[in-house]
């Protein structure tokens, strides 16, 4: 019965996604849902940005082992990211009417900055999307009681998500997110209610967690504990702001005001709701201490699904795995779509001057298929946990893309020379520390961030040596602005006008 429920749910999800695909007519529909989404749908899709494999399996498993201090990156850093990104994009970038962050970097600086930052952004998605694919394999393996091996489940999950995402793009993602958020919230709250009754109630579980030190948040030691703590927080909070999926979800709103309000609402909702799987996972250690404490030592990611399969009725199992599949599919579809669109728009398009909109839509879809294949190979060969794969994903964007984005949007004196210095300085120093120092006192990505800031300031204020930026391709399909009249440095963002 459980397997049939999962199969039916998957077919319904694919059908909804393919129905949405009938409304996709151009690249703008595919990339940002035609910028037509209302407040509830945008809030749902912003919430779904993070509520995927890491929230259900990764964060809950890490909390059971390390307590609140171990999950500072997610949900604390992740939820603040959604709030900051929503306000930032809604107030500064929404009015530009661009498809990708790379478009902004080209308009504000030049094509070299566009290409370099896009490569950083695309590379960061390998770990993130692989975590979602790995979780899909885990779910299929658990639901079928090992009849479907995890590797086969990963391939099957990737194929299902790829099917409706390839045809429907952001519109399919948004509609499915809106439908699935009800399943996610209802399913998790129902399981939480059942588990609360088995473990003695909310007060008992929270009291036991507090007595075990799981609710201690701030480090008690010196710099050796504080610096990794701050590093993990900032990596997720700031490093995930220059991300195409966050940008797409926010700018798919039909107005700047909706973009801001929905992002704040989605971020707050995500922060509050992530504590539900944490509560369920810790309650498991009170319901059956011997089994689940042993499972924590071997593979803590199995605590939640094992609890549901062994201690709840079939109906509750169907609700739980439906919620889990909803969370993972909504998250993985958008995170497959985002880097594929960014790579197509800001890398591939440069080699296809004059290509029409419908032809370029086919290019986007083919890129999506290719990126999915790369991610699947990466996931099949990775030994990292889901939480670690997600936590490590945004180090490169923190070091290489965050400073050019924020300084480019908010500092009028930022120049192309400064942006290039920030990218090379930030990424270069981060990679150097990672390669040469096994356990640095200051996390390598924080050193990269610091060097990137210094390089941006120095490169922008020193005499300019970067040549004239390459103007944007004159293609009406891109909905871009001209980057002309830039001589020794990039013009301030407010100087550009809508086409």
What pLDDT, in 10s, does the model give residues 203-228?
A: 999 999 999 999 999 988 777 889 88
**Rounded to the nearest 5°, which phi and psi values hold at 119?**
-60, -40
User: Is the pLDDT reported for residue 331 higher than 90?
Assistant: no
**CA angle, corner 255, sides to 486 and 36, nearest 5?**
105
* C-alpha 411, offset from chain centre: 26
**Rounded to the nearest 5°, which phi and psi values hold at 25?**
-120, -15
**Rounded to the nearest 5°, which phi and psi values hold at 189?**
-70, -35
| CA–CA gap between residue 132 and residue 134 (Å, rounded) | 5
Q: Are 212 and 221 in contact (CB under 8 A)?
A: no
Instruction: Say how many C-beta atoms besides its own lie within 10 A of residue 8's C-beta.
Output: 12
Per-residue pLDDT, 467: 53
Directed axis angle between helix 275-287 and helix 150-199, to 10°? 70
Per-residue pLDDT, 206: 93
User: Is the pLDDT reported for residue 422 higher than 80?
Assistant: yes
Q: What percent of the chain has pLDDT over 70?
A: 91
Dig out the tokens for 48 from the structure: 């779904």
Comparing 84-88, 93-97, 182-186, the range with the smallest average pLDDT is 182-186
Q: Are 331 and 125 in contact (CB under 8 A)?
A: no
Per-residue pLDDT, 447: 94
* C-alpha 374, offset from chain centre: 17
Mean pLDDT for the stretch of residues 158-186: 80
Helix ranges restricted to H, 300-415: 303-311, 314-346, 357-380, 386-391, 395-400, 402-410
Eight-class DSSP state of 476: G
Comparing 25-29, 249-253, 353-357, the range with the smallest average pLDDT is 25-29
Per-residue pLDDT, 298: 79
């Amino acid at each position: 019965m459980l397997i049939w429920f999962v199969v039916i749910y998957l077919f319904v999800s694919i059908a909804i996604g393919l129905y949405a695909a009938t409304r996709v007519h151009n690249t703008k529909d595919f990339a940002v849902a035609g910028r037509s989404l209302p407040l509830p749908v945008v809030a749902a899709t912003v919430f779904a940005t993070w509520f995927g494999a890491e929230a259900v399996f990764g964060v809950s498993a890490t909390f059971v082992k390390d307590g609140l201090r171990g999950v500072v990156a997610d949900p604390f850093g992740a939820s603040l990211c959604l709030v900051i990104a929503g306000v930032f994009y809604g107030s500064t970038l929404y009015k530009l009417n661009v498809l990708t962050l790379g478009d902004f970097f080209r308009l504000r600086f030049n094509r070299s900055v566009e290409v370099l930052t896009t490569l950083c952004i695309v590379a960061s998605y390998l770990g993130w999307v692989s975590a979602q694919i790995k979780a899909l394999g885990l779910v299929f393996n658990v639901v079928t009681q090992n009849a479907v091996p995890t590797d086969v489940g990963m391939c099957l999950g990737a194929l299902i998500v790829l099917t409706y995402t390839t045809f429907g793009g952001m519109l399919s993602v948004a509609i499915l997110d809106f439908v699935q958020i009800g399943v996610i919230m209802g399913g998790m709250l129902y399981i939480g209610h059942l588990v609360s009754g088995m473990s003695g109630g909310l007060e008992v579980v929270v009291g036991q967690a507090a007595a075990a030190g799981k609710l201690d948040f701030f480090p008690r030691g010196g710099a050796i504990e504080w610096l990794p703590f701050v590093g993990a927080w900032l990596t997720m909070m700031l490093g995930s702001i220059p991300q195409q999926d966050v940008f797409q979800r926010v700018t798919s709103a039909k107005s700047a005001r909706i973009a801001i309000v929905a992002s704040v609402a989605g971020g707050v909702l995500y922060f509050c709701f992530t504590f539900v799987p944490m509560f369920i996972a810790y309650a498991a250690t009170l319901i059956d201490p011997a089994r689940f404490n042993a499972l924590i030592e071997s593979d803590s990611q199995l605590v939640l699904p094992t609890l549901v399969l062994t201690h709840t009725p079939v109906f509750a199992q169907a609700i739980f795995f439906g919620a889990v599949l909803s969370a993972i599919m909504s998250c993985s579809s958008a995170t497959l779509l985002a880097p594929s669109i960014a790579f197509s728009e800001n890398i591939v398009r440069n080699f296809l001057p004059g290509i029409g909109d419908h032809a370029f839509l086919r290019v986007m879809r083919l890129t999506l298929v290719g990126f999915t294949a790369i991610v699947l190979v990466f996931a099949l060969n990775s030994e990292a946990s889901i939480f670690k794969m997600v936590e490590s994903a945004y180090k490169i964007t923190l070091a290489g893309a965050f400073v050019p984005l924020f300084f480019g949007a908010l500092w009028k004196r930022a120049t192309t020379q400064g942006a290039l210095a920030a990218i090379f300085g930030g990424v270069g120093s981060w990679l150097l520390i990672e390669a040469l120092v096994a356990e640095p006192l200051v996390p390598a990505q924080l050193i990269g961030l610091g060097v990137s800031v210094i390089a941006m300031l120095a490169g922008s204020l020193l005499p300019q040596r970067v040549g004239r930026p390459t103007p944007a391709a004159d293609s009406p399909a891109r909905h871009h602005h001209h980057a002309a009249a830039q001589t020794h440095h990039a013009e301030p963002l407010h100087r550009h006008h809508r086409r």
